[in-house]
Chain A
């Protein structure tokens, strides 16, 4: 890890003024569970760390008439402990349950979870975000890509987005609020995630001098939701594929469905075709199966990750069936 300057502002205005205009100047430090390993592995080497944990207004979770507000500094544990969340938004709680380490749950924040960087083993070994060799040739397509993307993987990005919460939040129609030198920006969380085209890009719409302040999730009246995660181990392990589903119901028929897959593409992946097949139907095993197939219609495997297509299909099918049962597994 390289030497760095450390700042601990108490307001978001101060925080933003301490950030730089380019990514190598400063990084936001929240729980640090990802940032510190990125720094130790030399993937990022900021000149300054801006600790945001002293900014009180970024904390807390509140549920009310207007829906749910999750402060960027709310921890994964706080999210898990919140009864209002688990009652109305089981997809979120189930996604958080997949992060099984008590240490990461206690330190990791929602802002950090959404802004965490890819776990691609080439990136983490120092080959850059787009994982290229000295000649600029991509390492992933011909390398070991068993954990890489099966959708949106035409290049140059092949990694999968690491966030487990993002698919659930997007499925539930969440918005994200950012704060920067020009004040507040708000956007659909779905649009917050981007696929980088150069190694210097990031995976979000965040600018180097902005911070995430909160997430807003609309009320979930009449919405049934669930997240299904395919993971190899019970112990802390990255999902191989996840699917989060939110079904707006009228009676026992689906009015509108939103299906978002995680860990399959460089960004959380919306499955529009699959969403449509559910509309105006009662959820059955057959419909869920069909949706799973449609969700992976455009999938393309790399040399050794074909199995993930099957896993994602199963995740979608099972998440739909779980949601229809009211979020129970």
Chain B
């Protein structure tokens, strides 16, 4: 049996190198087709009528006028009269028509009456939540009361970050069409190609085996595209009503921002107890958040640092808003912001450099203490931390103040279940088929690199097929589980195939199969590399039937594991007269075990830092308390960073023996955890006071400067003139 391990560093031809993603040219030239681009023959356009109310009961629905309109092919009531609607934007009725304007006209012609019910859509103020607040059990470790008694410094603070959305540039949606009344073809924007059939088949009453699912490219998911959505089922139902014609429902931008997923908020009052030398001994937090009408989970507090004596209490608040979905590292950015801000405030009170303070307590970070130590040393170098850091409050002249901040984070990222078929044809061509998807992370490239590496072939020699549920099932792309899963299944499948090839080739070279290796397009004798056959010649020995193997994860050998650590540092400038924050530079030092493609790994981190700058400075879902509606369901006031807002990004990936030995570990999530905290800490360092809540907008920064002690520091009471 083959030995399932990764090649030694000196034997790697591709793994660990910087390889450009294989679908890059297709994407930048516009050739790559996303679900949104799909246009099927005779396709109908679906539109959805949504509730204008945040909380209401449907009293009546009259679709008669819409049904009579020329060009309207199907009308489907999604939620019947009597149903309680729990957020604005929820789906009520859908129509399918020959074009979008007709479908929109039909939607406007539908009459729905509602009985309005009281709603709650904002949660920053816990005391206003009333019965919607659901406190969870308090948790205690060690002896917090005693520890606070022994603490020489106690620092209290309020920290928070609002609900944000996933804001996928390709909105959610699908195109469904029937072949007969038992077989469905679905093109869908999804993070889980292999899971769709089962999820959509059930509500439609057809076997999963009868559902064909396809997706070539996806324009972002970030955790919001695991599930088949109600509108996807609706598109299939409308298609059936319209005689099987394809029906396309892709969400409009406003719906995308209102109903297609949020990251729960988090607010917390925190107390930290420390010794004068910087040792952290006690933690207490009272936190709350909302994840929509259901829960949103609770952030891990304190994050990473397991403070020996702690008392925590979390309250979930049900609000009449769109529901939470996994958002890149669920709950970690929240836990991180709250914890790292509170700890940095503690360091500031002690007048300690936070780098020294974090390092002094690094053993509390557990398993990755050493990794963090190593990473901080590199990051400090890249940021010139010791030269540039100053005590809180830059003393420089002029309104623009500069500051530095840091943070650290952890994540699991163990590989998911994954299967692939590997085929070596007698003519030497190679196929890999897997029911996975490339989330834009470079999954295609990574799979091809692993296959090419095993076979000693160039990348182009591998024909990879993914994005189709006809291929062997592979897990959902989420939780940073994809790279560990697909690289391991591919490695096992290709090693098995190679072993079979060696068996066919060995007799002609008068050696045992185990004496052979595949290097640089040749199958050759290890002890005498001049003896061998070209790949093509070798494959001619296969005979009439191609070699086919099934690669699996989990499986024999240790190819992947779980758990990473990373640190980040930010350098910002703040105009204290206007409260405007600019990110000058962010340094990220990240571990993810054995790196398959260094370039796409770095890209992951760059992307995460950009997303981090967005939620640190700009992003927030703004709800109107009175009308219960989202005020910024558009790209104009749901603000994201542009090129000029991002600053310099410096990424350093940890490599070397100790990292390689852990095998492949996921990377999608960890680097997005720290930017909020690092940037918030840098702003505090620059201006001398904590701006308690993200995003760090001018109103919040000015309020914090004017009222450093006010909880929230948002513009909530900002009616006062924030004069300087």
Chain A interfacial positions (CB closer than 8 Å to B): 1-3, 100, 119, 121-122, 125, 127, 133, 139, 142-144, 146-147, 230-238, 240, 299, 301-307, 309-311, 313-314
Contacts and interface: CB of A to CB of B under 8 A. Distances in A.
A235 B617 CA distance: 13
A146 B698 CA distance: 11
Interface string B685-706: 0000000000001110011000
Contacts of A313: 723
Contacts of A119: 636
B639 interface: yes
A2 B104 CA distance: 9
Contacts of B644: 233-235
Contacts of A2: 105
A121 B641 contact: no
Interface in B700-724: 702-703, 715-724
The 5 closest A-B pairs by CB, nearest first: A235-B642, A234-B644, A307-B699, A304-B715, A306-B718
B67 interface: no
A310 B719 contact: no
A309 B718 CA distance: 11
23 contacts: A1-B104, A121-B637, A122-B624, A122-B631, A125-B631, A143-B626, A143-B627, A147-B637, A230-B698, A231-B580, A232-B580, A233-B618, A235-B640, A301-B718, A301-B721, A302-B719, A306-B719, A306-B722, A309-B721, A310-B579, A310-B723, A310-B724, A311-B578
A133 B627 contact: yes
B698 A143 contact: no
A314 B577 contact: yes
Contacts of A305: 699, 715, 718-719
A212 to B, nearest CB: 25
A306 B624 contact: no
Given A143-B626, A305-B719, 9 more contacts: A125-B631, A230-B698, A232-B697, A235-B644, A299-B721, A303-B718, A306-B720, A307-B702, A310-B578
B158 to A, nearest CB: 18
A223 B311 CA distance: 66
A311 B697 CA distance: 12
Contacts of B721: 299, 301, 306, 309-310
A108 to B, nearest CB: 15
B101 interface: yes
B38 interface: no
B724 A146 contact: no
Interface in B516-554: none
B126 interface: no
B625 interface: yes
Contacts of B645: 233-235
Interface of B: 101, 104-105, 577-580, 617-618, 622, 624-627, 629, 631-632, 636-637, 639-645, 697-699, 702-703, 715-724
Chain B facing A: main interface SS: loop
A325 to B, nearest CB: 16
A133 B52 CA distance: 13
Given A143-B625, A302-B719, A233 B639 contact: yes
A311 to B, nearest CB: 6
A307 B579 contact: yes
Contacts of B639: 232-233, 237
Contacts of B723: 309-310, 313
Contacts of B641: 233, 235
A191 B80 CA distance: 54
Nearest to B705: A310
Contacts of B105: 2
Contacts of A238: 636
Given A121-B631, A125-B629, A139 B715 contact: no
Contacts of A231: 580
Contacts of A142: 626
Nearest to B644: A234
Given A233-B641, A235-B641, A307-B579, A301 B719 contact: yes
Given A146-B715, A235-B642, A235-B645, A301 B720 contact: yes
Contacts of A236: 642
B577 A303 contact: no
B718 A240 contact: no
Contacts of B722: 306-307, 309-310
Nearest to B702: A307
Given A301-B719, A301-B721, A146 B699 contact: yes
Interface centre among A139, A232, A304 (most CB of B within 10 A): A232
Interface centre among A231, A236, A311 (most CB of B within 10 A): A311
B702 A310 contact: yes
Contacts of B631: 121-122, 125, 144
B698 A311 contact: yes
A309 B722 CA distance: 7
Contacts of A144: 622, 624-625, 631
Given A234-B642, A240-B698, A133 B626 contact: yes
B642 A233 contact: yes
A305 B640 CA distance: 21
Contacts of B699: 146, 304-305, 307
Nearest to A311: B578
B87 to A, nearest CB: 16
B100 to A, nearest CB: 10
A306 B698 CA distance: 11
A1 B101 contact: yes
A22 B724 CA distance: 47
Contacts of B618: 232-233
Contacts of B578: 230, 310-311, 314
A143 B624 contact: yes
A234 B613 CA distance: 13
A149 to B, nearest CB: 13
A142 B627 CA distance: 11
A227 to B, nearest CB: 15
A276 B266 CA distance: 49
Nearest to A137: B626
A63 to B, nearest CB: 31
Contacts of B637: 121, 147
Nearest to A142: B626
A178 B720 CA distance: 41
A143 B122 CA distance: 12
A147 to B, nearest CB: 8
